[in-house]
Amino acid sequence: MTLAISFPTARTADPSESTVPTVVGARLTVPLLDGRQVGYANLDHAASAPCLDAVRDAVDELLPWYASVHRGAGFASQVCTGVYAQARDTLRRFVGARATDAVVFTRNTTDSLNLLARALPKGTSVVLFDTEHHAALLPWRGPRVHRVKTPADAAATIAALDAALSTCPVGPRLVVLTGASNVTGEVWPIAELAKVARRHGARVVLDAAQLAPHRPVDIRALDVDYVVLSGHKLYAPYGAGALIGRSDWLQAADPYLVGGGATRQVVDWGDHLGVSWTAVPERHEAGSPNVVGVHALAVACETLSQSWDDVAAHERTLLRRVRQGLAGIPGLRVLELFGPEQDRVGVVSFSVDGLDAGLTAAALSAEHGIGVRDGAFCAHIATRRLLDRSGADQQRAVRASLGLGSTAEHVDRLVAALRSLAADGPAFTYAQVDGRWVPADDERPLPPFLREVS
């Protein structure tokens, strides 16, 4: 039986003016220390994006049908199996994959890259830049891993990669590239770097976690071999991600996890078990599939694909507004890998002279209702190197990241709040508890579903 599952139409606040998809929580209000309630300015999309309304609606529509995938004869099971299979086709289209490419569903980008690292042929040389996110930096271990120090401009990265690949021993080679930096938002010259990799016979895996929510990604146009991404960055926070790309290395590798779904047959041979494994993609998807998460991810990809022009225009306007606003604040230093002219997505990280990053983030939240991230953003080498380069007096930064839930009012509120903090500091008293800054006297009520834990 062939089942076709339709996607909900993306809703907008005012269809006559915009087709930017809307998100759950757009009207969320939060309490401030002074007793007021304000609309929540979520400027932390790079960590976890809110859920699209279309995704929430699609999940609600699926839940009554929830059943096993691949293993049930019931009609609901057949529906869920169809949903799961359809999601693979959607993800393949979303990244412009080849018909022969595998689509393996995972938990997130970190899971996907660890899976690929486990599947590399013996003796594979891996080349990557040292400013990668930890998800792309840490899975590769051993003497054949070449970490290249990221140059100060985009053009120099091409020469640096060429030089690194020239030193690799004979054998399989893999280049690990970031699509967009989660620290600065800068978009890397992916196609140009892939061309260098091809000259050296290397494959390329693209970490698209930060790029895919903002721009179309095309495997064939970029000439990369693998793309990895996360649903929780793509407005689908239901625990699914994907590894999409060439199937030969994945097919030759032992399963990433072993268990039901990865096995074709198990027999008792007395002193040990005989096992034959299924083919890719099921080979690396042991256990009951997360059909709800996979469907959510597919709907998010489909929704974004229908709206790219408006999504990009929305982000460009807000990014220009926030960068212009931050540029006028004395003592605020924006972090950049390659410089202000580099193409970038809606991510800006910065430090404020004399003001601890954690305290800045805490005050933005408690006094202004603004959610940002502080720290080194799971990219410690990149963040600390950029802070040192900028002349900052600290080892942590603040990051504001834009997305579909962001508005001009959010940006203006951030700029005004930072101007006030840079000039006068926080208006309330804060203390460090377990390494985090928190208001010293915080009587704000928690939502009723959150029980206090002693």
Is residue 219 within 8 A of residue 227, CB to CB? The reply is yes
Please give the Cα distance from 326 to 322 (Å, whole number): 6
Contacts of 367 (CB under 8 A, 6+ apart): 32, 33, 34, 417, 426, 427, 428
The pLDDT assigned to 8 comes to: 45
Preceding amide of 281 cis, omega within 30 = yes
Cβ contact 440:380 at 8 Å: no
Question: Does residue 441 sit in helix, strand or coil?
Answer: coil
The C-alpha angle with vertex 363 and arms to 233 and 322, in degrees rounded to 5, equals 55
Rounded to two decimals, the pTM is 0.93
Euclidean distance between CA atoms 433 and 440, whole angstroms: 9
CA-CA distance, 52 to 236, in Å (whole number)? 7
What letter does residue 44 receive in the DSSP assignment?
A: B
Which amino acid does the sequence have at 158? Answer: I
| pLDDT tens-digit map of 339-389 | 899 999 999 999 999 999 999 999 999 999 999 999 999 999 999 999 999
The one catalytic residue among 51, 80, 301, 378 = 378
- Would you state the pLDDT for residue 452? 66
pLDDT along the chain (454 residues), means of 10: 46 51 96 96 98 98 94 90 96 96 98 97 97 95 94 92 96 97 97 98 98 97 98 98 98 93 86 88 93 98 96 97 97 94 96 96 98 96 93 91 97 98 97 94 90 62
Q: Where are the alpha helices (DSSP H) in 356-398?
A: 357-368, 380-390
Whole-angstrom Cα distance, residue 344 to residue 321? 14
**pLDDT at res. 6:** 52
Tokens of 438: 């928190």
Q: Could you read off the pLDDT of 30-68 as tens digits, one per residue? A: 999 999 999 999 999 999 999 999 999 999 999 999 999
CA 227, CA 214: separation in Å to the nearest integer? 15
Integer distance in angstroms from the first to the last C-alpha of the chain?
A: 53
pLDDT score for 9: 44
pLDDT for 13: 39
Q: Give the number of other Cβ atoms within 10 Å of residue 286's Cβ.
A: 18
Please answer whether residues 146 and 193 qualify as being in contact, where contact means their C-beta atoms are separated by less than 8 angstroms. no
Is residue 378 flagged as an active site residue? yes
For tokens 């999409």, the residue is 244
